[in-house]
Structure 1
Amino acid sequence: MDEAEFLRGRVYGADHDDAGPRPGRVYAELVGGPLDGLLLDVTGHTGHEPREVALITEIGRYGPGGRALYVRRAADGRRFDWRCDTPGTA
């Protein structure tokens, strides 16, 4: 199993031992980029909020502490598309 296959269906930011989706929570799928296939917990957000997220990742272009920028799809609010990687902030 490669890294991409391992990450698919796991929740971004969850503990490795308990990284699957939880009942009663709402998730959006991250599409493309270093976090492709991960789920983002958007429980409690309404409509199309948030529109974009910058998520910390160790596997993006800028390595540990870098960010992967994802933007919510206009036609499908349950998916966020990767736009770019950015360096982390100090």
Structure 2
Amino acid sequence: MATDYDEVRSDVKESQERSLEALQSANAPDAKSVIRELDEADAFDDAMTPGGEFVAEELIVQVIPQAEDEFTCYSCFLVRHRSQLASEKNGHAYCLECKG
């Protein structure tokens, strides 16, 4: 009689079925309730600082346009003075720190 060694043994199969039944009968939360809890937690995280205080301030930042003697490095994206220009390739400028 030929033996199929790839077939799952009966005792292992029974063990797997019992563990699956135990998992299914466990009192696990459903996916919708988990998503709802995560959404509620995210709502609180938006207005909280690391110290746990609510912040109701609006930040106002003045944006200064790039001057004519400045360039933006294509590698690090920092605005640098023209004295920091190392090279220009294909219309992209690179600073001394990124080129070195």
With the length of structure 1 as denominator, give the TM-score of the two structures.
0.26
Q: Which has the larger radius of gyration?
A: 2
TM-score (normalizing by structure 2): 0.24
Bigger relative contact order, structure 1 or 2 (CA pairs below 8 A, ≥6 apart): 1
More strand by share: 1
More helix by share: 2
